[in-house]
């Protein structure tokens, strides 16, 4: 592995540089750094040929064009071998009619999973892995979600997180609960004395909604 560092790292935090790695995938040898310049969702799954993971992969493959529209790539990872990945995506294609159109990384040594905190020193096995890392074009981790092996992620929420991060990066906005693109945004709170003095004349200075549909 390239740039991983200590494989016993328990977790990464929002704002950390995502550890680089190079590994075999279902779309050839790839490095995390290959995705610099665009958004990336790196997500782990406990195991191939499992029901919850299959449902997630079908939904993600069907939504790939929506991620593409956000200039966001997808990359999956599990401890299964590359040959297991090939067999699983073939079974999905042949029996369900869905082509898995994003790379799946093999991590049989668990080096990547442990470096990212997908598997910790306290994990009894690799089934603890159902984590998602939302990585910006500069390679910085901007959001992290983690689910137990028994509960599938929401693809709609994954898309919403990417869209919200991109909107916040445009400036002059934070996003309210459940925000979707085109809905009203919130103005950031005042952070300097002059801005605060100017804002407090508004009784709702702490909750300033603005139209963002244009």
Which residues are catalytically annotated?
A: 53
Residue carrying the six token digits 């610099």 = 36
Tell me which long-range contacts 52-58 makes (C-beta under 8 A, separation of at least 24): 52/149, 52/150, 52/151, 52/152, 53/78, 54/88, 54/92, 55/152, 56/152, 56/153, 56/155, 57/89, 57/92, 57/98, 57/100, 58/92, 58/96, 58/98
Residue carrying the six token digits 């598997």 = 119
Task: Kindly state the helix (H) or strand (E) to which residue 187 belongs, with its residue range.
Answer: none
Task: Kindly state the helix (H) or strand (E) to which residue 126 belongs, with its residue range.
Answer: none
């Amino acid at each position: 592995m390239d740039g991983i560092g200590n494989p016993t790292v328990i977790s990464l935090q929002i704002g950390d540089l995502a550890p680089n790695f190079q590994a075999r995938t279902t779309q050839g040898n790839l490095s995390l750094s290959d995705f610099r310049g665009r958004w990336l969702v790196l997500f782990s799954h406990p195991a191939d040929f499992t029901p919850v993971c299959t449902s997630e992969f079908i939904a993600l493959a069907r939504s790939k064009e929506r991620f593409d529209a956000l200039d966001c790539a997808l990359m999956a990872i599990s401890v299964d071998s590359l040959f297991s990945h090939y067999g699983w995506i073939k079974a999905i294609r042949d029996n369900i009619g869905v082509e898995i159109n994003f790379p799946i990384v093999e991590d049989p040594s668990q080096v990547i999973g442990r470096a990212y905190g997908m598997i910790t020193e306290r994990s009894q096995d690799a089934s603890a892995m159902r984590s998602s890392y939302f990585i910006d074009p500069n390679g910085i981790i901007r959001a992290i979600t983690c689910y137990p092996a028994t509960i599938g992620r929401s693809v709609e929420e994954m898309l919403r997180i990417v869209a919200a991060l991109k909107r916040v990066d445009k400036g002059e906005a934070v996003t309210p609960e459940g925000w979707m693109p085109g809905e009203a945004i919130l103005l950031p709170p005042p952070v300097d004395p002059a801005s605060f003095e100017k804002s407090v004349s508004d009784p709702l200075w702490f909750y300033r909604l603005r139209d963002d549909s244009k």
